[in-house]
């Protein structure tokens, strides 16, 4: 829990104290409840896990399926409207803004949701759909729709998201966080 509070303070310039984060940050609350729900889910207590995750959704506006796998130092800034599907995998040091969906495009069993590797940033309102992989260090621009894999260190913008290489794109060379 302490690591989560430190992460929020490091990622959000508006976060003044650990007490403020612990009491007032819905992204942190949703993450804490998810950990408990995921533990229940992992031990076959699916109904209890879903009930707990739905209670957190009602309180925070953030829906994380208890089957989703979430890494360390994950931070959801603001959070309202975030949806993370059952087979989603989120790595370490991921930053996500409000309105993001890690959703599925198939009703078939199996891997249906995205894999988000370490150090990825996902801008407000972005939709990442299907069993795609966002490789380490990639960035998703605000309101982008991503339906294809995103290579390491690249940026996706637009609808559907267009992949841009910051090593050759002059606009991104100047400011790689331009679309967040």
With cut-offs at 50, 70 and 90, classify the pLDDT of residue 69: very high
Tell me: the pLDDT tens digits for 105-151? Answer: 888 889 999 999 999 999 999 999 999 999 999 999 999 999 999 99
pLDDT of 172 over the 90 cut: no
What is the per-residue pLDDT for 117? 98
Mean residue pLDDT of the chain comes to: 93
Distance between first and last Cα of the chain: 27
Specify if 58 maps to a domain.
Answer: yes
In a domain, 30, yes or no: yes
Interval 37-56: pLDDT, tens: 999 999 999 999 999 999 99
The answer to whether residue 124 sits within a structural domain is yes
pLDDT at 180: 65
Give the model's pLDDT for residue 178: 67
Residue 179 forms part of a structural domain: no
Is residue 121 included in any domain, yes or no?
A: yes
Q: Mean pLDDT, to the nearest integer, of 165-170?
A: 82
Number of domains the chain contains: 1
Is 62 part of any domain? yes
Q: Does any domain span residue 180? A: no
66 part of a folded domain: yes
Q: Do residues 16 and 42 lie in contact, with contact meaning Cβ atoms separated by under 8 Å? A: no
The domain that holds 98 is classified in CATH as: 2.160.10.10
**Residue 45: its pLDDT value, please?**
98
pLDDT in tens, 14-40: 999 999 999 999 999 999 999 999 999
Q: Residue 82: give the domain boundaries.
A: 2-174
Three-class SS of residue 27?
A: helix
User: How confident is the model at residue 137, as a pLDDT?
Assistant: 97
* For residues 58-66, average pLDDT: 97
**Predicted structure pTM score:** 0.86
- Per DSSP (E only), the strands in the chain are 63-64, 69-70, 75-77, 83-84, 89-90, 95-97, 101-103, 115-116, 121-122, 127-129, 133-134, 139-140, 145-146, 155-157, 162-164
What average pLDDT does this structure show over 154-168? 83
Token pair in block for residue 114: 């995205």
């Amino acid at each position: 829990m302490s690591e989560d509070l430190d992460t929020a303070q490091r990622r959000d310039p508006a976060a003044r104290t650990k007490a403020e984060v612990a009491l007032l940050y819905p992204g942190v609350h949703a993450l804490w409840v998810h950990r408990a729900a995921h533990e229940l889910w992992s031990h076959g207590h699916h109904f209890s896990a879903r009930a707990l995750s739905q209670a957190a959704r009602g309180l925070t506006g953030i829906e994380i399926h208890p089957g989703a796998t979430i890494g360390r130092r994950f931070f959801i800034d603001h959070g309202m409207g975030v949806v993370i599907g059952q087979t989603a995998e989120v790595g370490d040091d991921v930053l996500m803004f409000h309105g993001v969906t890690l959703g599925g495009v198939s009703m078939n069993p199996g891997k249906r949701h995205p894999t988000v590797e370490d150090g990825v940033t996902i801008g407000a309102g972005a939709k990442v759909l299907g069993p795609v992989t966002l490789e380490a260090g990639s960035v998703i621009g605000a309101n982008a729709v991503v339906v294809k894999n995103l290579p390491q260190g690249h940026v996706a913008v637009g609808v559907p998201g267009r992949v841009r290489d910051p090593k050759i794109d002059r606009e991104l060379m100047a400011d790689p966080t331009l679309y967040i």
